[in-house]
Structure 1
Amino acid sequence: MVLKKAKRLWDRVKNGANPLGSEETPQSQLKIIPRDNHPISRKDISSPALKVLYRLNNADYQAYLVGGGVRDLLLGLHPKDFDIATDAHPEEVHGLFKNSRLIGRRFKLVHVLFGREVIEVATFRGHHEAPALSANESKSSEHGMLLRDNVYGTMEEDALRRDFTVNALYYCVKDFTIYDYANGLEDIRKRELRLIGDPETRYREDPVRMLRAVRFAVKLDFTIAAETEKPIFELASLLGNIPAARLFDEVLKLMLSGKALTTFRMLRHYNLFGQLFPGPERSLNQGPERYLRLIEQALVNTDTRIKQKKPVTPAFLYASLLWPALEDQWEKNKGNGTPPFPALQQAAQKVINIQCKSTSIPKRFSLNMKEIWELQLRLPRRSGNKAAQMISHPRFRAAYDFLLLREESGENLDGLGQWWTDYQASDENAQRKMSNSAKHPGPRPRRRKKRYSGSPPSSNR
């Protein structure tokens, strides 16, 4: 074990790096806070996280609870996840835990699995400008974004490579102390979010940090330090360099936090929403006010469901966020002479294709979104047995909720939402009377009969 550590240290020296990393990172002022001066207790840390910490320590590795888990415990919150930082390399961590897996190329990590709980273990990162041991360890794009970063270093280097000061706190399970390299405890006291290092450089390294700044500020009810927020307005467009799949995940973190409405407003304030949803942002700026009301009410409903511990589907969320762009395109298609239903289908496909260039949408969600939208044209058709058929549709409830959103936003739908509300609350006889008296929304286009050559088609399907 000692030989492995010595070899890693010698490799850094051979490549011109300072073995302690002091020349590769900004100067830190380490503060060590003893157990009597902070509120964190082991009883607040999950048993799996403690097991990982103890096993790494017993194998003669350094291992610390780090990041959001420490931050949230200091704030009196209950962390959902516990992350660990260590001087053990990923392959060494993997070798200690049979219940683990190696993941990632950009940042190589180890996930240690305990049933449904996952403990993420990362090796201390060094400064990416330090000479790498191989060409594959560190790589940046022309915009300064880190494409690969597996340069390992010391705990101090690791702390100063983290994004925000409040996330650069390390809890030691050996003596129950906290290591603070970036004055994070003071920022927690002031409830202020501050980037470590030069903000513009840090955002260029990873533009998603701009989204994280918004997410943490909203989640923790912190203000963003002036020097940390200033570059966001100018650098928001750098999100266009981030893979669409990664941004889809970030959108879910932002909007399923329980504070989606506040998050949405802050994203628009920093010009970030338009980078994630360019079509809806154009429609919000140019279209009627009800577009904004619909999205904001959808986010209020999302927050309410999360607080009530009810499920929230990304399909409904995205259907709401994209509706302004969809309606604009739908009206344009109808204005070009396309019948309503094909016009809606064409608009849906176009809007989704454009959106997927910014944030990808898995097919299982995009298909449900299309059904929610298409059912908006079927909900007015209630005569005969159509209402009974509609209510049994697997996407009826989502389509009905979406219909209510449209009405709440100020769209005039002739009381259709109330009709469906009353219909669901009625018994079978009352439902039959309601359907029989329901007005048909208008003549349907006459379908042309198909001409067949040869023998007629079979009636079996």
Structure 2
Amino acid sequence: MRSCYDSAHNKQHKTCVSNELNPLKPESGAGAPRIYTRAEHGISRANISEHALKVLYRLKDAGFRACLVGGGVRDLLLGREPKDFDVATDAHPEEVRSLFRNCRLIGRRFRLAHVFFGPEIIEVATFRAPHDSFVDDGDADGAAEALIEDGRIIRDNVYGTIEQDAWRRDFSINALYYDIRDFSVVDYTGGMDDLKQGVLRLIGDPEIRYREDPVRMLRAIRFATKLGFRLDEATESCLSRLGDQLLDVPPARLFDEVIKLFHAGCGLQTFEALRHHDLFGRMFPLTEEALSHEEEGFPITFVANALRNTDERIQSGKGVNPSFLYAVLLWEPVRHAARRFMEEGEAELPALQHAGGVILSRQARHIMIPKRFALPMREIWELQPRFEQRLGARALRLLTHPRFRAAYDFYCLRARSGEALAEGCEWWTRLQEVDEAEQRRMVEVSGKKPRSRRRRRSRSKSSGNA
């Protein structure tokens, strides 16, 4: 599978390249859509969720137009299993709710209908029109409204046609519609050709679209790495220049976006791409600063090793935890801050506690981490010194700590990166494998507490980040 970050990168542009072939408004040259009949594409209803089909058919039978759209259509055309199925329709949210008793309307910025079938949710969105096409129609419920401040979309509830909806979506490969009326694929923006060529292309002028919603820059990186596509020149050229727009995104919103970036099975490649385009440092400036320095003449590899480990777990179907991810991403600034506090006279554990509080507080200016994740993060960090204590009952008690497994995985990743002693990880791995009698023997004869030091070529086997 191709990657836009393999081998040589496209030359970095200092200014945005205008995408004249992809105007946002249909009247600028869109023309009629390309219709791909059932015989011309590979989508089968057998691969579509029965609940999504139920929503599509009920909307159609009620006289509305209903289509699958977005990532579900894209993945079906690529032969992938979709993660979810989204529906677009000319029915307004209230009309959708009247057809489904199991429906709930959500959102203010972007009003949607969620139709619930047990654990599965089918999201239904009304076709949207361009933001500047709003006309006050006296709609009492305020559904037809758009609000843009400084080029950024604050509310987006201007309803329109399927054609208008296609041209205001973000990427061409996400603007393909599977029409339940005749099982065709409707393409207004050239998305089918881009799918065949492995190109990720933003619809419309990139600078305008990125300023409307800066998170689109992160989505561009995520889709390119996830699909193995290359970014076209216009889509890529102004990423670095507009990166500061991310500073205006609400910190709470970026928390979930980071999880999407790094929990898609290609976290290491995503990390490298974000750094290549100067976007990672806009979200994690303290980590970027720490990574810009070498230690004892060698680059810091902990984050890269941890993300590689996370990718392996996801690809093998194992669970991953947001707390562990964020603990990894912030460990370098925490470790450096703790070292400074220790040099000022604090003991190791109080220094780690102090550092954790300071770094989380400063990081919250960029990404807000909820307490339910921040507390486990701090426990993972604060348990690290205890892995250097292998004598007596204290070592055995650590095995029963509720955060032991995550902290142990973290410790072994540190060992793999040369930050902790490899034999320490091996010792704790063996302690978990032997019976109680052998465990007691190990903690009695393990010897003096080893002195922690960095080693370049240590080797250990981490068991993951469950």
Query: What TM-score does the superposition give when structure 1 sets the normalisation length?
Result: 0.88
Offset at residue 397 of structure 1 (A): 1.2
- 1:24/1:127 contact within 8 Å kept: no
The residue number in structure 2 matching 1:125 is: 128
Q: In the alignment, which of 133, 139, 150 is matched to residue 147 of structure 2?
A: 139
1:209 aligns with 2:216: yes
Q: In the alignment, which of 27, 30, 35 is matched to residue 29 of structure 2?
A: 27
Q: Aligned runs of 1:209-248 on 2, under 5 Å?
A: 209-248=216-255
The residue number in structure 2 matching 1:255 is: 262
Same amino acid, percent of matched pairs: 51
Q: In the alignment, which of 382, 385, 397 is matched to residue 390 of structure 2?
A: 382
Q: In the alignment, which of 115, 119, 130 is matched to residue 118 of structure 2?
A: 115
Q: Aligned runs of 1:18-97 on 2, under 5 Å?
A: 26-29=28-31, 30-97=33-100
Distance 1:411 1:111 in 2: 47
- 2:163/2:188 contact within 8 Å kept: yes
The residue number in structure 2 matching 1:423 is: 431
Distance 1:77 1:294 in 2: 32
- 1:26/1:160 contact within 8 Å kept: no
- 1:53/1:64 contact within 8 Å kept: yes
Distance 2:329 2:365 in 1: 15
Q: In the alignment, which of 149, 163, 166 is matched to residue 156 of structure 1?
A: 163
Q: In the alignment, which of 324, 335, 342 is matched to residue 343 of structure 2?
A: 335
Distance 1:38 1:170 in 2: 12
Q: Aligned runs of 1:206-355 on 2, under 5 Å?
A: 206-288=213-295, 292-355=300-363
| CA 290–123 in structure 1, closer or farther in 2 if over 3 Å, else same | farther
Query: What TM-score does the superposition give when structure 2 sets the normalisation length?
Result: 0.87
Offset at residue 382 of structure 1 (A): 2.1
Higher relative contact order (CA 8 A, sep 6+): 2
- 1:25/1:160 contact within 8 Å kept: no
Distance 1:63 1:399 in 2: 48
- 1:318/1:369 contact within 8 Å kept: yes
Distance 2:175 2:379 in 1: 45
Gaps of 5+ in 1: 1-21, 444-461
Offset at residue 27 of structure 1 (A): 3.1
Task: Output the amino acid matched with 1:410.
Answer: G
Task: Output the amino acid matched with 1:114.
Answer: F
The residue number in structure 1 matching 2:413 is: 405
Residue-by-residue CA offset, 1:317-373 (whole Å, 9 max, x unaligned):
111111111111111111222222111101001111122222221211111111111
Distance 2:25 2:226 in 1: 35
Residue correspondences, number: 421
| CA 420–182 in structure 1, closer or farther in 2 if over 3 Å, else same | same
The residue number in structure 1 matching 2:104 is: 101
SS at match of 2:241: helix
Task: Output the amino acid matched with 2:169.
Answer: R
Distance 1:217 1:55 in 2: 35
Offset at residue 279 of structure 1 (A): 0.9
Distance 2:184 2:193 in 1: 16
- 1:171/1:178 contact within 8 Å kept: yes
Task: Output the amino acid matched with 2:213.
Answer: D
Task: Output the amino acid matched with 2:220.
Answer: A
Task: Output the amino acid matched with 2:129.
Answer: G
Offset at residue 433 of structure 1 (A): 2.1
Distance 1:298 1:249 in 2: 19
| CA 291–436 in structure 1, closer or farther in 2 if over 3 Å, else same | farther
Distance 1:198 1:242 in 2: 20
- 2:173/2:192 contact within 8 Å kept: yes
Offset at residue 415 of structure 1 (A): 2.4
Distance 2:420 2:147 in 1: 55
Distance 2:450 2:271 in 1: 38
Task: Output the amino acid matched with 2:29.
Answer: Q
Offset at residue 237 of structure 1 (A): 1.1
- 2:293/2:299 contact within 8 Å kept: no
- 1:28/1:156 contact within 8 Å kept: no
- 2:412/2:422 contact within 8 Å kept: no
| CA 433–227 in structure 1, closer or farther in 2 if over 3 Å, else same | same
Offset at residue 285 of structure 1 (A): 0.6
Distance 1:200 1:132 in 2: 26
The residue number in structure 2 matching 1:8 is: none
Distance 2:215 2:313 in 1: 27
Residue-by-residue CA offset, 1:43-75 (whole Å, 9 max, x unaligned):
111111111111111111111111111111111
SS at match of 1:101: strand
Distance 1:57 1:292 in 2: 56
Distance 2:179 2:392 in 1: 70
Distance 1:39 1:79 in 2: 14
Distance 1:434 1:291 in 2: 35
| CA 346–25 in structure 1, closer or farther in 2 if over 3 Å, else same | farther
Bigger Rg, which one: 1
